[in-house]
């Protein structure tokens, strides 16, 4: 029993770090495109300047449903779905990577669709994907909004974290996710989601979405996030970047600590705006939808 409880705790922590996301009722795709061997699919809605919306780990594009209703009247939205998440068919990667290939697929999509300097908004893992695109293909990006994500997630463990130092922990988290018996999945998801969203009414849907995601993809992406340090690449970004991040009294530490973490993490980014939204957990678009929508409107110049 002790070993089972220990495994449950480790898995719940790993899933929390990986930032599992929800599934909501959403319209059928208007246009769907595939890119880079089906790494992503894209639904296009609305007309106007282009905005690419990237959800996080274990999430459907439907997480953007509320925001999309407000933006589709004035913008053309490209709602991304990453393979292996929230019921999307998984694909095999020889290097066990998820975020980096998705970034290349979205960069390829921008080029093939001849999008001119689109805005990119990414939440959690999607935020890291957005940074990858902006750093590795700066000419394809107009502006970037990163939502509650760091360029090196392991800074959550220590401000002095390094890739080499964190690899054993990342490997352990990945192994724990893969080893967890199916009957523990709901408990793991429940424990993780309680740390990620304040809105209790939204939690059942979020738990379900996590259970619909491919376990191997989630485990691989968790490890990838933990050992990927994008800080050395940030100086390559030429587009303006805004980072929107959450803080709540229930975090148990001062807001100033969170501010310092984000300032430290993005110190090498030349064009950066940091925007904290209080009384919210990780899912800012769910916990504070109006404040988040206002931030997006300012970001896109609406």
Confidence of residue 28 (pLDDT cuts 50, 70, 90): very low
How many angstroms separate the CA atoms of 300 and 51, rounded?
A: 9
Chain segment 42-93, per-residue pLDDT in tens: 999 999 999 999 999 988 898 899 999 999 999 999 999 999 999 889 998 8
Chain segment 120-130, per-residue pLDDT in tens: 999 999 999 99
Chain segment 157-187, per-residue pLDDT in tens: 999 999 999 999 999 999 999 998 877 877 8
CATH number of the CATH domain containing 110: 3.40.50.1820
Residue 182 has what pLDDT?
78
Cβ atoms 177, 11 nearer than 8 A: yes
Q: Which domain holds residue 26?
A: 2-300
Cβ atoms 103, 120 nearer than 8 A: no
* pTM assigned to the model: 0.89
How many angstroms separate the CA atoms of 235 and 144, rounded?
A: 14
Chain segment 200-226, per-residue pLDDT in tens: 888 887 788 788 899 999 999 999 999
Specify the number of domains making up the chain. 1
Tokens 């293909």 identify what position? 137
């Amino acid at each position: 029993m002790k070993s089972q409880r220990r495994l449950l705790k480790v898995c719940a922590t790993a899933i929390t770090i990986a930032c599992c996301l929800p599934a909501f009722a959403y319209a059928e795709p208007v246009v769907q495109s595939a890119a880079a061997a089906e790494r992503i699919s894209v639904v296009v809605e609305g007309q106007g300047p282009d905005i690419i919306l990237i959800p996080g780990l274990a999430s459907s594009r439907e997480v953007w449903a509320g925001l999309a209703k407000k933006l589709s009247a004035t913008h053309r939205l490209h709602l991304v779905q990453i393979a292996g998440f929230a019921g999307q068919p998984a694909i095999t990667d020889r290097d066990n990577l998820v975020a980096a290939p998705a970034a290349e697929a979205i960069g390829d999509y921008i080029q093939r669709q001849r999008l001119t300097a689109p805005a990119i908004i990414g939440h959690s893992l999607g935020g890291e994907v957005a940074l990858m695109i902006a750093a590795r293909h700066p000419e394809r990006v107009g502006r970037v909004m990163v939502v509650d994500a760091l360029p090196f997630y392991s800074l959550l463990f220590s401000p002095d974290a390094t890739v080499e130092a964190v690899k054993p922990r990342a490997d352990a988290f990945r192994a724990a996710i893969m080893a967890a018996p199916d009957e523990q999945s709901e408990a793991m998801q429940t424990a993780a989601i309680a740390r990620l969203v304040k809105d209790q009414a939204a939690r059942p849907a979020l738990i379900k979405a996590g259970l619909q995601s491919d376990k191997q993809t989630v485990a691989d992406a968790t490890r990838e996030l933990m050992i990927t340090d994008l800080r050395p690449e940030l100086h390559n970004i030429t587009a303006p970047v805004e980072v929107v991040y959450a803080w709540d009294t229930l975090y148990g530490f001062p807001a100033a600590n969170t501010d310092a973490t984000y300032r430290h993490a993005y110190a090498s980014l030349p064009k950066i705006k940091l925007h904290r939204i209080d009384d919210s957990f990780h899912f800012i678009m769910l916990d504070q939808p109006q404040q988040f929508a206002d931030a997006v409107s300012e970001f896109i110049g609406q």
